[in-house]
Structure 1
Amino acid sequence: MTSTPGQVLTDIIAAVADIVLNTEANRDRRVDRKAFVQENRRNLLRLVAGSHDVRVSLATRFGAVATAHRLLEELLDADAATSDRAAGILGEDRSALLPRHQATSPTPSGEASSADRGDAATEKTIVRLRRDNALMRAKRDEANGRLDNARKEIADWRRRHTSLAQDLDEATTESEGLRTELVAERERWQTLHNDPSRAAETLVGALRSAVGPAPETDLREQDRMATVTEELVTADHPKVTENLPEPVLLALKAAGIGISEFLGIVEAIASPPVTAPLLLDTHEREVTVTPLGGGTEIGGSCILVEAGQARLLVDCGSRPGQPLSRCAPPHLEAALHEHLDAVVITHAHNDHAGYVPALVAQYPHLRILCTAETAALLPTMWNDSVKVFERTITDALRRGDADALNEVAPYRSAQVKAAVQRLEVTPVGRVVEITDGVSAELFPAGHILGAAGVVVTAGPSRVTITGDVSHPSQDQASVGGISIPASARGCDLLLIESTYCRPGGRPRTLEVERFLATVYDTVNGDGRVLVPAFALGRAQEVVLTLRTAFPGMPILVDGLARSVSRIYEQQTVGRDNPLTIFGDGVQEVAPRERRELNASMRRGVIVATSGMMAPGSPAATWAEWILPDPRSALLISGYQDAESAGAELIRLAEQNSATFDLGGQRIDVRANVAKFALSAHADRKGLGQIVTEVGPRQTMLVHGLRSSQREFADHLRLRSFQVVPTGRAQIRSR
């Protein structure tokens, strides 16, 4: 059936009414559709003219039948003016679509038609509806604004809470570290009281310290100590009467004995002559070396050395980025089915020492050998790990992670205290017997303060394990490079780290120059530089490098790096080149002063932990203030886990992204973001030089990635070195 123009117009107006009544503002209203159309006919037509989208929709639906009349075609025309003219005619003249002979006569002047009265009522209704809708929208917008503000305040409170929690954790870590050291010191004094040998050893050390360093400052440590001992037994050496404490001199005089005789007696008490048992049969002469962790991965370093009945571990580190239940060295169980005589810790980084307290919990009488500097750093690092374990479990429970219910911290403060009490400070160059004719000798490895490699000797067999090393050519500001002892040269097996054994890469010296140039340009342009840095090693290296290059430059040290830096200073007092980190423009940041310093410091450098910008850390807090400033810079100085905030920031910077999500907060990134390879590990060239200098019969690559190790092994074989696969190796005495 053909629709008349009037019917088409009625359908169009009804369709427009449906659009209006189905809007969000009117959807829930109870409106009589028929009455609404009758009362709002004129305004509904005006709505057609005023909305391009409505006309397009109507044209799609009614375009074919609108051809029944010119005014209908014009009403749905794309041109707004044409549509408005047609809407005006159709709204004013209800007979506009009728044939001319059916048109009604005009209403006499002065009389309002019923249609006009209806239009007036419709106009009032629409005005009222519009006013009501406007009020509803205003209230809705106000409520949404309050909701957004509340959400922002909650997010800000959560960030502040996380930051305060981390600050509290760091303060607790520091205090727990001091308390642990105090308990351990008391234990040592108690041991001295009950153990004449230990007391005599301490007295010998004090007498050697009183004499001071040997005249030749370039001697290795063991040669220096031999010279010092020679000076002590020379009764007429001027340093004896010059430096020995007066009570000692008076006691010797009263006893009527000389210094050489006294020293001989005390040293005999400290180290009674012992005849080391011989390794008799062929089986006992076999030495087996097995990486239990950190072999073809970085993290969880742990090497088992077995010789006859002797069994010791070199390192027992934790694995970063793993659940707490899997943070131990991956194959540690292979060492736990029998007794353990000792563990030698090469240095205090968690990936080498972080699991030792859990090991001590299973072996309460385990000997732990390490340098004095490492022993001073471990209480802080282990107590910090306890806080990380607790925070990991708490955060998982807060997220509703069901697996968190089964997570257990590998160790707690009590286990840390027990482990610290088991530490045996072992000077580099001193040969320490483990058991059954098996001995260990530590030697300087560079890398960080106190880092050492170890030579394990079992009868005629020698195994050298470097731990993490830096080469002297790296010219670090905080430590020197590796110093290879005579006992390591020509050893049967060398286990050497291979973190950066790949070819290529910019030399560290050039990276340092580029880093310093970026800092200078930024600060000279009245900007600030944020350097997220690891608390142990990297933070101190960055500060000392900056102090040397830019004396007096304002530098703030924030986070756990504060207490670690103080340990660096304390442990190097009295050396020829003590490390001075604070002073001359370098100051610590107390958490309560952070916001005030942010407001007052307009140019300078902030070195803050954590190195990977964990949400809530001091580095993350400073990043919120630094990143939006186009005059400033954020310089990444170390390795970043793929899922870390630091890695994400680097990716976004490479993509020139304008915003960064840090702990749920969107931050505008206008500062310069750059990455620098300021590694404390030896590079490929340095590693090759170390292998050459050691000259081992066999070499095993550890602490690296399999693909890189495979290529470096081929390179060493081309240089006539024998490289064995990373795994269990046996050494038979020659």
Structure 2
Amino acid sequence: MKPIPMKIKFLGSAREVGRAGIAVKSEKNQLLLDYGVMLDDEPGFPMHIPPKEVDGIILTHSHLDHSGGIPLFHIQDKKPVYGTQLTFDLAKPLISDFIRLSGYYLSFEFLELQTMMRSCVHLDFRKEQTVGDMKFQLLNSGHLPGGAQALIETDGKRMVYTGDYNATDTQLLSGADQDYGELDAIIIESTYASEVHPPRKEIEKDFMDHVNGVVEKGGTVLIPAFSVGRSQEIACVLAANHFEYPVAMDGMAREANRIMMNHASYMRDPKLFMKALHSAAWADGWRDRRKIAGKPGAIISPAGMLKGGPAAFYIQKIGKKSKNGVFLVGYQIPGTPGRELLDTGKCIIDGKVQNVKAQVKRFDFSSHSGANELKDAVKKLKGNPTVYVVHGEEANCEMFAEWIKTEVGLKAVVPRAGEAFTV
């Protein structure tokens, strides 16, 4: 009898960014790759898959659009979840915060999160794991500390799921491990498939020139940043470039710092990482915040899009004076206070319109591969894999798939949610 071929079903992140969820099925077993949430007014999850049909879940990284729905699989049962220890340590506070803020809409509570955490199987990169007739290993994704890609083998077929990944070295992380060997399929993200990121060194130099320019004239720079990953990268950028003024870190970034310091080996340069975090002051309470906001230096604080967090307090103080700077270091979703600030020079904080006199600028510190890196990755692929393009706006997915077909000559597919394919 011929073996039943590998099947892939797309439950989420098809023609959209967010709520990742992909089922990979062999003859006897089924693995779920991520199960995230779309963070809207009401949380949206990938398509339903009966938990009893899932033999294990691979969590690529801690961001909620990949991790936020996994407690759903622990309501009545324990289901093994595979990932790096750092991914689980970071996912716990992020999912806890999600339950606290959105619990009204959710069918799981902290109890299910606790069950999920007890079901975690910690894997190192490149360590082979078997689930029934499937085997897989995790590869560094370069996207987030502890973040992984999944290389899966079954019935003689090999496929990679990149998750979110970044092929470029940063001050925090080494670029993605792309030594896949011969493949039959790859599921690749396309978040920035239409955007060319400037070289990292150029971005860093421009950023440092602006930060030093403000602080040397007695100003304070607010750097709103995502608490997990971006805050630590910015601290490393400042340290690597010998920034001589005070650096403060605040909000949930402090908890992420504590967790990551226990796993410094995941970082590109553990010594630089530890130096950067040890040399920063960690704000502790409102007295600290008021003191920090009035001194020349740099403040790294969530929320990255100014939707709450201590950054919303700091901008009310720092934004009033033209000698200061507000430097955004992440993508700003339309409709967020950060995007309003970039577009209009104003933002709404706590229901009030804030006119920001401080210098405002965005720097492209992306943790996703851009157009050039994605194209290079496809050109390097070995074998004759079918390329499934996901985790991007529909136009990005379509454009990237068309480029793959015409320029590389590989079969490329832009799946819709609910579609299944045979490898």
Same fold (TM over 0.5): yes
- State the TM-score, normalizing by the size of structure 2: 0.93
Task: After superposition, give the CA deviation of every residue in 1:281-334 in whole Å (9 maximum; x if it has no partner).
Answer: 33x42111122111211110111111113111100111122403xx212x2x1x
Task: After superposition, give the CA deviation of every residue in 1:204-238 in whole Å (9 maximum; x if it has no partner).
Answer: xxxxxxxxxxxxxxxxxxxxxxxxxxxxxxxxxxx
- State the TM-score, normalizing by the size of structure 1: 0.55
* Identity score, percent: 23
Residue in structure 1 matched with residue 161 of structure 2 by the alignment: 465
Pairs within 5 Å for 1:218-237? none
Counterpart residue type for residue 278 of structure 2: G
The answer as to whether partners of 2:125 and 2:138 remain within 8 angstroms in 1 is: yes
Deviation at 1:504, TM superposition (A): 4.0
Aligned partners of 1:527 and 1:410: how far apart in 2? 47
Of 409, 428, 438, 2:125 maps to: 428
| Residues 673 and 385 of structure 1: CA distance in aligned 2, closer, same or farther (over 3 Å) | same
Name the SS for the 1:491 alignment partner.
strand
Pairs within 5 Å for 1:429-444? 429-435=126-132, 437-444=133-140
Task: After superposition, give the CA deviation of every residue in 1:248-275 in whole Å (9 maximum; x if it has no partner).
Answer: xxxxxxxxxxxxxxxxxxxxxxxxxxxx
Counterpart residue type for residue 643 of structure 1: G
Any stretches of 5+ residues in structure 2 without a counterpart?
A: none
Task: After superposition, give the CA deviation of every residue in 1:416-450 in whole Å (9 maximum; x if it has no partner).
Answer: 11110000001111111111x11111111111111
Determine if the alignment matches structure 1 residue 582 to structure 2 residue 301: no
Residue in structure 2 matched with residue 353 of structure 1 by the alignment: 67
Deviation at 1:697, TM superposition (A): 1.9
Aligned partners of 1:446 and 1:337: how far apart in 2? 30
Counterpart residue type for residue 335 of structure 2: E
Q: Once structures 1 and 2 are overlaid, which stretch shifts more, 410-419 or 458-467?
A: 410-419
Deviation at 1:595, TM superposition (A): 4.0
Q: Which has the higher contact order (CA 8 A, sep 6+)?
A: 2
Residue in structure 1 matched with residue 402 of structure 2 by the alignment: 714
| Residues 382 and 542 of structure 1: CA distance in aligned 2, closer, same or farther (over 3 Å) | same
Aligned partners of 2:408 and 2:97: how far apart in 1? 44
Q: Greater strand percent: which structure?
A: 2
The answer as to whether partners of 1:371 and 1:450 remain within 8 angstroms in 2 is: yes
Deviation at 1:575, TM superposition (A): 8.2
Of 319, 339, 342, 2:56 maps to: 342
Pairs within 5 Å for 1:95-110? none
Counterpart residue type for residue 119 of structure 2: R
Aligned partners of 1:505 and 1:422: how far apart in 2? 38
Task: After superposition, give the CA deviation of every residue in 1:557-597 in whole Å (9 maximum; x if it has no partner).
Answer: 0100001012111111698942313233x110112333442
Determine if the alignment matches structure 1 residue 542 to structure 2 residue 234: yes
Residue in structure 2 matched with residue 606 of structure 1 by the alignment: 299
Name the SS for the 2:53 alignment partner.
coil
Aligned partners of 1:623 and 1:423: how far apart in 2? 39
The answer as to whether partners of 2:188 and 2:387 remain within 8 angstroms in 1 is: yes
Deviation at 1:729, TM superposition (A): 4.7
Name the SS for the 1:674 alignment partner.
strand
Aligned partners of 1:538 and 1:618: how far apart in 2? 16
Name the SS for the 2:373 alignment partner.
helix
Residue in structure 2 matched with residue 731 of structure 1 by the alignment: 422
Aligned partners of 1:509 and 1:410: how far apart in 2? 45
Residue in structure 1 matched with residue 187 of structure 2 by the alignment: 495
Determine if the alignment matches structure 1 residue 515 to structure 2 residue 207: yes
Aligned partners of 1:511 and 1:432: how far apart in 2? 39
Counterpart residue type for residue 708 of structure 1: N
Aligned partners of 2:251 and 2:107: how far apart in 1? 24
Counterpart residue type for residue 123 of structure 2: T
Task: After superposition, give the CA deviation of every residue in 1:145-178 in whole Å (9 maximum; x if it has no partner).
Answer: xxxxxxxxxxxxxxxxxxxxxxxxxxxxxxxxxx
Pairs within 5 Å for 1:291-310? 291-310=10-29
Name the SS for the 1:495 alignment partner.
strand
Name the SS for the 2:223 alignment partner.
strand
Aligned partners of 2:217 and 2:72: how far apart in 1? 50
| Residues 337 and 537 of structure 1: CA distance in aligned 2, closer, same or farther (over 3 Å) | closer
| Residues 710 and 643 of structure 1: CA distance in aligned 2, closer, same or farther (over 3 Å) | same
Q: Greater helix percent: which structure?
A: 1
Residue in structure 2 matched with residue 315 of structure 1 by the alignment: 34
Name the SS for the 1:309 alignment partner.
coil
Name the SS for the 2:178 alignment partner.
coil
Counterpart residue type for residue 433 of structure 1: T
Determine if the alignment matches structure 1 residue 376 to structure 2 residue 376: no
The answer as to whether partners of 1:489 and 1:693 remain within 8 angstroms in 2 is: no
Structure 1 vs Structure 2 CA RMSD: 2.0
Residue in structure 2 matched with residue 147 of structure 1 by the alignment: none
The answer as to whether partners of 1:531 and 1:637 remain within 8 angstroms in 2 is: yes
Determine if the alignment matches structure 1 residue 678 to structure 2 residue 392: no
Pairs within 5 Å for 1:175-186? none
Counterpart residue type for residue 434 of structure 1: V
The answer as to whether partners of 1:492 and 1:731 remain within 8 angstroms in 2 is: no
Pairs within 5 Å for 1:71-150? none
| Residues 574 and 386 of structure 1: CA distance in aligned 2, closer, same or farther (over 3 Å) | closer
| Residues 576 and 475 of structure 1: CA distance in aligned 2, closer, same or farther (over 3 Å) | closer
Counterpart residue type for residue 351 of structure 1: D
Name the SS for the 2:412 alignment partner.
coil
| Residues 573 and 500 of structure 1: CA distance in aligned 2, closer, same or farther (over 3 Å) | closer
The answer as to whether partners of 1:285 and 1:458 remain within 8 angstroms in 2 is: no
Deviation at 1:410, TM superposition (A): 4.0
Counterpart residue type for residue 449 of structure 1: P
Residue in structure 2 matched with residue 176 of structure 1 by the alignment: none
The answer as to whether partners of 2:325 and 2:360 remain within 8 angstroms in 1 is: yes
The answer as to whether partners of 1:461 and 1:731 remain within 8 angstroms in 2 is: no
Deviation at 1:682, TM superposition (A): 0.7
Pairs within 5 Å for 1:251-270? none
Residue in structure 1 matched with residue 388 of structure 2 by the alignment: 700
Any stretches of 5+ residues in structure 1 without a counterpart?
A: 1-280, 391-406, 654-658
Residue in structure 1 matched with residue 110 of structure 2 by the alignment: 413
Residue in structure 1 matched with residue 143 of structure 2 by the alignment: 447
Counterpart residue type for residue 514 of structure 1: D
Deviation at 1:677, TM superposition (A): 1.4
Name the SS for the 1:521 alignment partner.
helix
Task: After superposition, give the CA deviation of every residue in 1:491-515 in whole Å (9 maximum; x if it has no partner).
Answer: 1100011111115453443222222
Residue in structure 1 matched with residue 318 of structure 2 by the alignment: 626
Determine if the alignment matches structure 1 residue 571 to structure 2 residue 259: no
Aligned partners of 2:26 and 2:166: how far apart in 1? 29
Aligned partners of 1:381 and 1:337: how far apart in 2? 23
Counterpart residue type for residue 37 of structure 2: S
Aligned partners of 2:397 and 2:414: how far apart in 1? 10
Name the SS for the 2:22 alignment partner.
strand
Determine if the alignment matches structure 1 residue 690 to structure 2 residue 368: no
Deviation at 1:555, TM superposition (A): 0.8
